[in-house]
Amino acid sequence: MEIRKVQVTGGSSFVITLPKEWANSIDLKKNDPLGLVARPDGSLIITPPSRWESAVSTKVFDVDGDEDPVFLYRKMVGAYIAGFSVLEVRSQGKMPSSVRDVVSSLTQIAIGLEILEESEGHIILKDLIDPREMRFNKSIDRMRVLVANMLSDAFQALEDGDLEKIEDIISRDRDIDRLEWLISRQSNMAQRDPLISQKIGMPHMEVTANFTVGRILERVGDHAVHIAKNSRELIEAGVSIDVVQEISKAGDQSLSILSSAVDSWFNRDLHLANRTIEQIVSLVDACRNINRMAQEHEVEESIAISLIAGSIRRTGEYSADLAELVINTMME
């Protein structure tokens, strides 16, 4: 860190010299404009024009040769989450149909990403959503509703023996993923660009916390899918009503804990967060009881029951992690 003294000119203007090495590195000239961003912590960020004149950044994918479609999909998802505004896919010859399928799949799940241009060997995708106009709370609240409904429906489907609802729950996981991708993308862009962070009125520490909340809810959504899949096994096996009732009771408890955790986050309620954490002990006991009941069943049923109990427990533990995040964030 360089320490430079502040000078006063004209009796009221504060002046500080800029590091020559930095000025040369960005080719700064006399009368060039610079962006100044005041941070909530009192610090000041100086940005060159290139950082605020254009927010467009492009990632190019050359797909000539044997491009593995799964690997390409993962790379494009990574570029989207990293915050690239434009994804360009290029091929010297006719683009393989497998690549076009990858592009199509990505546009169906990535929020805001649309095909802007397309030719025989060239596809350009552009993000049409301004991240500064999106609010983390809206995405998180939507995730909360989706995850809670998936969990509730999974337990109800087990009680009713509804295999059709089970399949519907599994398909809904994509909606959770696409929101988590959006939150991760917003977080990366806000961390990298102070102007975006300033626009949404959120310091970096708060941005990171919202990113963590999104990841927690996405993991809970994964466990809702696990519960649904293992419930299908139990429905097909005709598991006893006693086991179903115990799973439903523990499931309702995990839903209550999740709801309290998210409420404590939105309301920044320290006491509610603390009460949420304290509820985990009784949920763990309920899951242990389900595991004991599992031992009385055939191997495949026993495994499915234990896996459901484990997912219920992890749902509660993730909720406790969220409640702890509330406390940690407020203490900071």
**Mean pLDDT per 10-residue segment, the chain (332 residues):** 79 81 82 73 70 66 84 95 92 89 93 91 89 79 96 95 93 94 89 70 81 96 96 90 94 97 96 96 96 91 96 97 95 79
What distance in Å separates the CA atoms of residue 27 and residue 24, rounded to the nearest whole number? Answer: 5
Do residues 164 and 234 both lie within one domain? yes
pLDDT at 191: 78
Q: Which residues, including other chains, have CB under 8 Å from residue 250's CB and lie 6 or more apart?
A: 283, 286, 287, 290, 309, 312
Q: Is 35 helix (H, G, I), strand (E, B) or coil?
A: strand
CB atoms within 10 A of CB 127: 22
Do residues 264 and 279 both lie within one domain? yes
Do residues 300 and 253 both lie within one domain? yes
Q: At 191, which amino acid appears?
A: Q
Do residues 165 and 309 both lie within one domain? yes
- Residue 2 within any structural domain of the chain: no
Q: What is the DSSP letter of 110?
A: S
- Residue 1 within any structural domain of the chain: no
Q: What is the DSSP letter of 202?
A: -
- Residue 317 within any structural domain of the chain: yes
190-216 burial, b at 16+ Cβ within 10 Å, e below that, comes to: beebbbbbbebebeeebbebbbbbbbb
pLDDT at 54: 47
**How far from each other are the two terminal CA atoms of the chain, in whole angstroms?**
25
- Sheet of 122-127, strand order: 58-62, 86-90, 122-127, 113-119
Do residues 253 and 272 both lie within one domain? yes
Number of domains in the chain: 3
- Residue 233 within any structural domain of the chain: yes
CATH number at residue 74: 3.30.110.20
Do residues 220 and 298 both lie within one domain? yes
- Residue 191 within any structural domain of the chain: yes
What distance in Å separates the CA atoms of residue 167 and residue 169, rounded to the nearest whole number? Answer: 5
- Residue 193 within any structural domain of the chain: yes
Q: How far is CA 120 from the centre of its chain?
A: 34
Contact 185, 214 (CB under 8 A): no
Q: Is 176 helix (H, G, I), strand (E, B) or coil?
A: helix
What distance in Å separates the CA atoms of residue 274 and residue 259, rounded to the nearest whole number? Answer: 13
Domain range enclosing 213: 133-331
Do residues 182 and 256 both lie within one domain? yes
Do residues 111 and 25 both lie within one domain? no
At 10, list the tokens.
């004209």
Name the E strands within the chain.
Answer: 7-9, 13-15, 35-38, 44-47, 58-62, 86-90, 113-119, 122-127
Do residues 150 and 233 both lie within one domain? yes
What distance in Å separates the CA atoms of residue 232 and residue 224, rounded to the nearest whole number? Answer: 12
CATH number at residue 148: 1.20.58.220
Q: Which residues, including other chains, have CB under 8 Å from residue 90's CB and lie 6 or more apart?
A: 60, 61, 62, 63, 121, 122
Do residues 225 and 291 both lie within one domain? yes
CB atoms within 10 A of CB 76: 22
Nearest to 226 by CA among 251, 205, 209, 245: 251
What distance in Å separates the CA atoms of residue 218 and residue 214, rounded to the nearest whole number? Answer: 6
pLDDT at 51: 53
Do residues 203 and 321 both lie within one domain? yes
Q: Which residues, including other chains, have CB under 8 Å from residue 13's CB and lie 6 or more apart?
A: none
Decide which of 131, 158, 189 is a domain's last residue: 131
pLDDT at 53: 46
What distance in Å separates the CA atoms of residue 126 and residue 84, rounded to the nearest whole number? Answer: 9
Do residues 114 and 198 both lie within one domain? no
- Residue 12 within any structural domain of the chain: yes
Decide which of 115, 131, 147 is a domain's last residue: 131
Decide which of 73, 100, 131 is a domain's last residue: 131
What distance in Å separates the CA atoms of residue 55 and residue 67, rounded to the nearest whole number? Answer: 29
